[in-house]
Structure 1
Amino acid sequence: MGFMQDLAAAAAGAIPAFFVPPIVMLPYILAEQLRPARERPQWRDYAFNIVLSAFAIYLTLPAGILAGMASEAVRSLLPWHPIAIPFDAMATAGLPGMVARVAALTFLPLLVHELWFYWSHRLEHRIGVLWEFHKLHHSDTRMNCSTFARDHFLQNAWRAFFSVFTVGLVFDLSAIEAGQAAIFSGLFLMFLSLFYHSAIRVEVPWLDRIVMTPQLHRIHHSVDPQDFDHNFADVFPFMDMLFGTYRKPQPGQFAATGLPDGELAGRSLWQALVQPIAGAFRRLRGAR
C-alpha cells in the first residue's frame, strides 16, 4: 500500500484510541479523588487533557507511517542484519512459549524505546525549540492520570518517528509481529504511564528502581528547579541510574507540579495547539 492508503487504514484503526483511554482511566480517577497526592484533580483537568490527546493521536499518525517506511528503506543499506527472534517457535512451545512470546513482543521493543526516549527527553529539556513543545506536558499544575496524554502533536510526531524508526532497525519483525508488538508494548506503556502520572498518594519504594512510579515522576514534574533535570525515563529507571539523573523520592514526598518558573501554558485548547509553534518560531528567529 502507498502512504495515503496506509494513513487511511491507520486512521480507521485509531478510532478505538478515542474511547479506550477514558475508560481505562476510570479506576485511576476514582483513586485520585479518594486518595489524592496533593490538590484533588478537577473534572475539567481530565476533560482538557483527553480532548487534547484526540488531536495528538490523529496528527501523529503520518509520522509513525513515515518512520516505518524509512526504517525499512534504511535497513536494506545497513552492514548488519536486524535481530531475528524465533517468535513462531515460541508459539509452538505450549503455554510457557506463548507467555515468552508475549513478553518478548512487549518488553524488547520497550527496551529499544527506552534507549531512544531517555536521550530524546533530555534533548527536549535542553534545546529551546523542543522545550517549547514539551513544556505543555509539564505545565499541568494538577498532574493526574490524564496528564500522560497532555502532549503537543508535533512532540508526539517527533517521538513516534524515531521510536518506530529505531525499533525497525534493531528487530526483524514481520508485519503481524510488528502489529502485535505495537499492541502489547503500547498497552503496557499506557497502563504504566497512567499509573506514574496519577495523583494517587501511593508509595512503593521497592518498585522505584524497577519501573517508573508516581513519586519518581512527580519529581520530574516538580516546580522545584533542582528537581527539573531528573528521572527522565519512560519505563525503566536504569537509564537515569546509569547517567546520573536518578533522584529517589523521600518518604512522604509528593512534589507540587508545574513549570519551574511559574509560567502557565496551554490554558485553552487553542493555546495548547498554537502557543508551542509560535514559541518555537520565536526561538528560531532569535537564533539567527
Structure 2
Amino acid sequence: MDITELAQLALSKITGITHNANLRHFWVYVLCGMAIAVCAHRVGGDDRKFHSVFFRKEVWGSRSAFIDYIILIANPIIMVLAFDWLLKKLWSLSAIVASGVKSFGADLQSESGSIWVAVALTVSLYVVNDFMRWWLHYLQHKIPVLWEFHKIHHSAEHLNFATAERHHPLDAVFFLTGTISAAALVNGIFVGLFGDQLTVYQLGGANVIFFGSNLIGGVLRHSPAWVSYGPRIEKWLISPAMHQIHHSSDPKHWDKNMGGGLAIWDRMGGTLYVPKGREELDFGIGEETQDYRTVYGIYIEPLIKAKRIFQRG
C-alpha cells in the first residue's frame, strides 16, 4: 500500500461526508441536523445566540476535540491494515448460512422479486442491526475488559461530529464483529430462502430506514445542540438529547440510553432514561478522563488496563 492509498484511507471519514450515507456526518444528515438544531434552539427558549452555543471554541478547538480529529484520521488506516481480513471473512458467513438454509430444501425463489420480500429484508436488516447495536453496547459497558476499550468513546469532554468516530480500534472491531455477523446471518437466511436476486431499499447507499432516522437529527447525537423529541416519542426513539445523556458524567446517567435508533431495547433492558426537560450536562468519565487526553492514553492505556484485569483474573 503506497502513500497515496494511505492518505486516502486517512481521509476516508472526511471525504465520506460527500458520498457515504452510512456515515452519520453525511452532508444530507448534517444539513437536516443543523436546521433541526436551529429550530430546537429557538423553540427551547435559550436566551443565548445559537452560534455561541453550537460553535463554542471548546467544542471544536479543545484538546478533547483534537484527539477526536486524530482518531478520525488514524483509525481507518489501523482498521484496514490490521483488521480488514477479519471483517471481510465475517461477510463470508452469509454464503455459509445461505447454503445451510438451502440444505433444508426450502425454495421460495419465485418470490425473490416480490415487494414484500424486499420490505421484509430491509426492515429485518435494520431491526436486527439496531438490536445488536444496543446489546453490544450493553456488553461494552458491563464487561470490565470491554469497558476499558469503550472508555475511549466516553472520555470525550465535549461532543462534536467527530466524536462519533472516537473509538479504540479493538472496541470498533468488537462492535463490527457483532453487527457484521448479524447482517451476514440475515442476508444468508434471505438468500437461502429467496435466492441472491434480492433488493434492499436504499437511499444514497444506506438502508432507507437508517437514512430516514438520520434525517431527524442523528448527527446531533454528538454535538452541543440539545434536541429532544419529547417523552412520548422518546419511549420509542432515541433522540440526540438522550444520547448526550448517555455521555454524561453524572452517575444517575451512567449506562443509560445505549440504543442506536429505537428506544425499545433500552426499555426492555431497563436502561432507558427519558429526560423530563432540558438538562445541563458535563461529559467524560470523572477523574479518569485525564488518562485519555493524549494519543498514548487513547491507544495504549486501554491495553495496559485490560492486561491488569486479565492478570487479576
Q: Give the TM-score of the pair, scaled to structure 1.
A: 0.75
1:183 counterpart = 2:183: no
Q: Which residue of the partner structure matches residue 93 of structure 1?
A: none
Distance 1:269 1:33, change over 3 A: farther
Q: Which residue of the partner structure matches residue 70 of structure 2?
A: 51
Aligned-partner Cα distance in 2 for 1:152–1:82: 43
Out of 53, 62, 65, the residue aligned to residue 88 of structure 2 is: 65
Q: Which residue of the partner structure matches residue 254 of structure 2?
A: 228
Percent identity, aligned pairs only?
20
CA contact (8 A) 1:83 1:170 kept: no
Aligned-partner Cα distance in 1 for 2:275–2:109: 39
1:264 counterpart = 2:290: yes
Distance 1:189 1:285, change over 3 A: farther
CA contact (8 A) 2:136 2:178 kept: no
> Aligned with 2:289: secondary structure?
coil
RMSD over aligned Cα atoms = 4.1
Distance 1:260 1:73, change over 3 A: farther
Q: Give the TM-score of the pair, scaled to structure 2.
A: 0.70
CA contact (8 A) 1:223 1:258 kept: yes
| 1:1-288 paired onto structure 2 within 5 Å | 16-21=12-17, 24=27, 33-36=51-54, 41-44=59-62, 45-61=64-80, 62=84, 63-77=86-100, 88-90=113-115, 107-171=123-187, 172=190, 174=196, 183-185=205-207, 193-205=218-230, 206-287=232-313
Question: 1:182 Cα deviation (Å)?
Answer: 10
Which amino acid letter does the alignment assign opposite residue 194 of structure 1?
Answer: V
Aligned-partner Cα distance in 2 for 1:88–1:119: 33
Question: 1:175 Cα deviation (Å)?
Answer: 8.9
Q: Name structure 1 gaps, 5 residues minimum.
A: 1-8, 91-96
Question: 1:139 Cα deviation (Å)?
Answer: 0.6
Aligned-partner Cα distance in 2 for 1:232–1:204: 17
Which amino acid letter does the alignment assign opposite residue 141 of structure 2?
Answer: H
Aligned-partner Cα distance in 1 for 2:76–2:291: 20
Which amino acid letter does the alignment assign opposite residue 18 of structure 1?
Answer: I
Provide, for residues 206-253 of structure 1, a one-character-per-residue CA deviation record: whole Å limited to 9, x for no partner: 542332212211221111122112111011111011122111112121
Question: 1:197 Cα deviation (Å)?
Answer: 1.9
Aligned-partner Cα distance in 1 for 2:271–2:107: 31
Which amino acid letter does the alignment assign opposite residue 216 of structure 1?
Answer: M
Distance 1:179 1:89, change over 3 A: closer
Matched pairs, number: 270
Q: Name structure 2 gaps, 5 residues minimum.
A: 18-24, 39-49
Which amino acid letter does the alignment assign opposite residue 130 of structure 2?
Answer: E
Question: 1:82 Cα deviation (Å)?
Answer: 11
